[in-house]
Structure 1
Amino acid sequence: MSRIEDAEKDYLSGMKYKDIAEKYGVSLNTVKSWKSRNGWQRDATKKKGAHKKSKRVHTKKSKVAQARSPDVIDELVENDELKDRQKAFCLYYLQRYNATWAYQKAYGADYETARRNGHRLLTNADIKKQLT
């Protein structure tokens, strides 16, 4: 048997790189290269090293107020003080609590316009009353 094969048996039996290198009179890096070139692999049950977490894939629950959505929608439909787009703004705002995004969705405006006017809608007394 060659010393590489002997070193492999020692490695598989659980010997450390350092001990194998001393036994065969080679450097530590030589033993490591033998391992990678020849594909030495210890039993998976005896594997040392850090534990790796398995990735979990799941969908996040949306922040839409689903439990109270029928009440909110009924209240919004009955409200005659707000225009249709203002009602849509209220619904979108309750989904993400982001006035800019809600304004873009309700009015179809660009970002800059929505950034300026979304805040203004939140100061409207009727909309403020509806949202509370």
Structure 2
Amino acid sequence: MPRARDPNRDKAFEIYKKHEGRIQNREISKLLNVSEKTISGWKCKDKWNEKVNGVLQKNTEYSKHKKNKKTKVDVEEVNQVMKNPELTDKQRLFCIYYVRCFNAVKAYQKAYRCSYQTAASGAYRMLENDRVKSEIYKLKQNRLNREFLSEEDIFQKYMDIAFADITDYVSFGTEEVPVMSMYGPVKVENSKTGRKEVLKQVINVVRFKDSSEIDGTILAEVKQGRDGASIKLGDRMKALQWLSDHMDMATAEQKAKIEQIKAKTEQIKNNDNDDGEDGVVIVNDAPKDIGYSDTEISSDIQQQDN
């Protein structure tokens, strides 16, 4: 039976619409006493930004609109940078590339057409240039204003990915279940009472939580394969690196929160395999029609390649 829709879901959107999108997820969560992750999930699934901006259209129309919008944004960014006489042509290119990918090395490589080694050293110096920093800040603010996003929103999303708790998405543990045969539960005689009792065993179980209860924007992949259903979280190590490179975007509260969980960061690094696997995969290979597995079916948690 489908789960009843949470009435706070519609209330949350009404609050967001009332503020014309200029309210943080954290503020809405406080007003409704709902977790910030839940608000973030509703915002993504229900397409709040599109509804508020009035651009929710059919897929074909939206794709065309998105392409035209991207072209318009690119032209606006180029025109803005070209008006800055204090920058060289290469510096202008660097600024444009940087606000698209937020990766200084990649932006430097594309602007200067150089090797990775050269870009790695040059990118740092470029970001130390006050004129370049000022132009990048202007471009970032203009882009964020167009998308009704704040730097705090973006930083928070990377925090959610980096410090995602797997128990928000699955529950796992052990259960005592009957030992099954082709004729049903196996029964054995109790030596003390002389009565036949169902033979039981302890098994490992993994259960996915309902999609309405989780923030789906943190998931990189959900699939049904030969070995069962699996979900994959976003790449935590890449998110951690992004956070490290963009601490200037964090609020005081976000910085304090990161300080509190620095110890967990090291634990995450140590738990990752040496072969550089990224992301976390949860595999549930139990059949769909039962809530547990028997002796021939196992449920496990494992790392796996992309």
Higher helix proportion (structure 1 or 2): 1
Higher strand proportion (structure 1 or 2): 2
- TM-score, length-normalised on structure 2? 0.21
